[in-house]
Amino acid sequence: MKKPVVLLLSFVGPAFAIHGAVFNFDGINTLIPDGKGSGLADTQTLLPAQIAGNITGLTLSLTISGVGRGGAYNGDLYATLQHGSGFTVLLNRPGKTALDPFGYGDNGLTVTFADTPAMPDIHTYQATLGGAPGGPLTGTWSTDGRTADPAAVTDDPATRTTALTDFFGLAASGQWMLFVADLDVGGQARLDSWSLSIDTAPVPEPQWIALASALGLAGFAALRRFRADY
């Protein structure tokens, strides 16, 4: 009895392997203009030598602290991330609803954004926690995602139209811009730091695609011969 032919494809693996890198942007420590839509933009450039390939996974960590006696007021905060054609809303005045025009009054945050189905919505974090966090907000949350005018935004989940997954498929290298604004007077917030954790899959070179196709055809032909023998 003949044995089936087994094709070993392990040597093709590096062309399609998933790679990851973390980029920390520390020591920013810059005040966010209070009550001004002009906000604060921090742009970081990732070089192809630092990370190559297209994005397959993305999380972002962000630290905003309160300054002075009043501290920050989280319900004033609006934040976005831009890279290439990708855009998402990280914060859009957390806690603001049709009945609460001011949002949550908590003092700052140190959070990670990860848009997976299990992550709770940061816009309604007090509802998730069962009340105020008792200090700066921490933990892992999904992005706010609401592109509505910050003056009119509510907690309506139907208005969540952006996510970190919008960056998937884009080249990881290039300029990344974090924008943060404090949209109402009272309280002073400071952007301390942020970071990106990026997974990428290299774009297969034409020769790898040709090789994979050839191996696939060879495997199909071998399978047909094996079946014919039986």
What pLDDT shows up at residue 108?
98
CB 196 within 8 A of CB 60: yes
What pLDDT shows up at residue 14?
43
DSSP secondary structure code for residue 54 in this structure: E
CB 192 within 8 A of CB 29: yes
CB atoms within 10 A of CB 229: 9
Residue range of the domain that includes 48: 18-203
Please tell me the distance from the alpha carbon of residue 77 to that of residue 108, in angstroms, as a whole number: 9
Please tell me the distance from the alpha carbon of residue 34 to that of residue 187, in angstroms, as a whole number: 7
| CATH number, domain with residue 26 | 2.60.120.260
What pLDDT shows up at residue 3?
39
220, part of any domain: no
- What's the one-letter identity of residue 225? R
**Residue 5, Cα to own-chain centre: how many angstroms?**
44
221, part of any domain: no
CB 96 within 8 A of CB 90: no
88, part of any domain: yes
Please give the span between the terminal C-alpha atoms of the chain, in angstroms, as a whole number. 9
What pLDDT shows up at residue 70?
82
* Rounded mean pLDDT for each run of 10 residues along the chain, 230 residues in total: 35 56 98 97 98 98 93 97 98 98 97 96 98 97 98 96 98 98 94 98 62 50 52
Q: Provide the Cα torsion 184, 189, 190, 195; round to 10°.
A: -80
224, part of any domain: no
What pLDDT shows up at residue 45?
98
Number of domains in the chain: 1
50, part of any domain: yes
